[in-house]
Amino acid sequence: MARTTRTKRDFLRVTDLDRSELLELIERAAEWKLLGKGGPRPLERMTIGLVFEKASTRTRVSFEVAAYQLGGNAMLLSKADTQLGRGEPVPDTARVLARYLDALVIRTFEHEKLEEMARYADVPVVNALTDSSHPCQVLADLLTVTERFGADALSRGGLSVAWIGDGNNMANSWLEACALLGFDLRIACPEGYDPDPKLVARAGGRARVVRRPAEAAEGAHVVNTDVWASMGQEAEAEERRRKFAGFVVDEALMKRARPNAIALHCLPAHRGEEITDAVMEGPQSAVFDEAENRLHAQKALLELLLAGR
Is 226 considered catalytic here? yes
Active-site pick, 166, 226, 240, 296:
226
Active-site pick, 107, 111, 240, 265:
107
Active-site pick, 137, 178, 184, 298:
137
Residues linked to residue 224 through DSSP beta bridges, in sequence order: 163, 264
Is 137 considered catalytic here? yes
- By the 8 A CB rule, do 275 and 94 touch? no
The strands making up 103-107's β-sheet, listed across from edge to edge, are 73-78, 47-52, 103-107, 125-127
Is 152 considered catalytic here? no
Active-site pick, 266, 284, 296, 298:
266
State the Cα–Cα distance between residues 274 and 41, nearest whole angstrom: 40
Is 107 considered catalytic here? yes
Give Cα separations from 155 to 58, 72, 210 (angstroms): 28, 33, 25
- By the 8 A CB rule, do 162 and 220 touch? yes
Is 69 considered catalytic here? no
Longest dimension (CA), the chain: 60
The residue among 138, 116, 119, 78 whose CA lies nearest residue 264 is 138
Q: In sequence order, what are the residues at sequence separation of 6 or more whose Cβ sits closer than 8 angstroms to the Cβ of residue 190?
A: 211, 243, 244, 247
Active-site pick, 28, 294, 296, 298:
294
Active-site pick, 134, 240, 265, 296:
134
Q: Is 81 helix (H, G, I), strand (E, B) or coil?
A: helix
Q: Taking the alpha carbons of 203, 216, 138, 168 in that order, is the dihedral positive or negative?
A: positive
Q: Is 284 helix (H, G, I), strand (E, B) or coil?
A: coil
Is 233 considered catalytic here? no
Task: Please list the active-site residues.
Answer: 107, 134, 137, 226, 266, 294
